[in-house]
Amino acid sequence: MSAQAQHNQQFIDSFGRRIEDMRVSVIDKCNFRCTYCMPAEGLAWLRNREILTFDEIERVVRIAAERGVTQIRLTGGEPTVRKGLPDLISRLIRVPGVEEVTLTTNGFLLRRMARELADAGLTRINVSLDTLTREKFAHITRRDHLDEVLAGLEELEKHSTIRPIKVNAVAIRGFTEPEVLDFARFARRKPYVVRFIEFMPLDADESWSREQLLTGREIYEMINAVYPLVPRDTDPSSTSRVYRFADGRGEVGFINPVSEPFCSTCNRIRLTADGQLRTCLFSTWETDLRAPLRSGASDEELGRIMHGAVLRKEMKHHINDPGFVRASRSMSQIGG
């Protein structure tokens, strides 16, 4: 920990959770329209002046890093659509205290951008891919671009500084089951860690229902019956349970926020593209950083505002409780 980080009060919430991970959304726009995330059309975009500049993002990251945040994950919307993204990565990686800058992307632009991202200092990546079938891909993303995403993944393989390559699939009952074993074979054949994420009620269409939930446990059972799995030790704050195939060929993971919430070890906060700090994916409130950023607040003041939000971080999400209230924004607007 740097002297500066020791000097400033660390981000520890009222439940004793140390905040070390900040998800930074760099844009709300996207080149896909995944059914579980965005509406087909009609979502109003932020205006350019509403979106934080790179200088503003870097400043918020620096202040967070001085208070104990070490991991930065860039997301969106689709982060690769933000002009100059590699430049932002190389700036953030140099912020004292930041140990890693990672990216979550739909992969569409990776074939073109993988080299630039590697050169900028990106060391880890999550590529979202929910199906290996062209028709199903076109249905779920509302875009016919499976081949580009697969080509983007292959391009990543050439850049050995970006590892591991994680492929994240949102699991939806009635959609994912027929491909579970295909994904297992994909994870065995390719140098990608395939992870299944439970579908959460964060879709803009508000069509989520519990019947569509396909749990990580169910998928685990389907894979384990054919390709035996062995658990791997994971960091307690990790969102995923990771298993390797018993014969040593690859890994799969399960992110089970609905059926097995991991809120008690959550070490994350989120910054939206328009400069709102969120302490939970499911927060019904946000803390504005953009106004103080743009009206001359000092680093100390900004740090205090952020710390105030951290102290109000929710104990847990309430998806499974009666009277659950949906988040104030959908996934692409929050930054998943």
Q: Which residues of the chain form contacts with ligand SF4 (CB under 6 A)? A: 30, 32-34, 37-38, 76-78, 106, 128, 331-332
Using CB under 6 A as the binding rule, whether residue 30 contacts ligand SAM is answered as: yes
State the residue number with the nearest CB to ligand SAM.
336
Among 199, 227, 243, 282, which residue interacts with ligand SAM (rule: CB under 6 A)? Answer: 199
Give min distance, CB of 282 to ligand SAM, in A: 11
Using CB under 6 A as the binding rule, whether residue 21 contacts ligand SAM is answered as: no
Kindly tell me which of 293 and 331 has the beta carbon lying closer to ligand SF4.
331
HEC string for the chain: CCHHHHHCCCCECCCCCECCEEEEECCCCCCCCCCCCCCCCCCCCCCHHHCCCHHHHHHHHHHHHCCCCCEEEEECCCHHHCCCHHHHHHHHHCCCCCCEEEEEECCCCHHHHHHHHHHHCCCEEEEECCCCCHHHHHHHHCCCCHHHHHHHHHHHHCCCCCCCEEEEEEEECCCCHHHHHHHHHHHHHCCEEEEEEECCCCCCCCCCCHHHECCHHHHHHHHHHHCCEEECCCCCCCCEEEEEECCCCCEEEEECCCCCCCHHHCCEEEECCCCEEECCCCCCCCEECHHHHHCCCCHHHHHHHHHHHHHCCCCCCCCCCCCCCCCCCCHHHHCC
| Part in contact with ligand SAM (CB under 6 A); list of ranges 45-53, 82-90, 231-239, 328-336 | 328-336
Hey, which residues between 66 and 95 contact ligand SAM (CB under 6 A)? 75-76, 78
Among 35, 168, 240, 276, which residue interacts with ligand SAM (rule: CB under 6 A)? Answer: 168
Among 35, 71, 102, 106, which residue interacts with ligand SAM (rule: CB under 6 A)? Answer: 106
Using CB under 6 A as the binding rule, whether residue 128 contacts ligand SAM is answered as: yes
Hey, which residues between 261 and 280 contact ligand SAM (CB under 6 A)? none
Using CB under 6 A as the binding rule, whether residue 289 contacts ligand SAM is answered as: no
Binding residues for ligand SAM, rule: CB under 6 A, are: 30, 36-37, 75-76, 78, 104-106, 128, 168, 170, 197, 199-200, 202-203, 331-332, 336
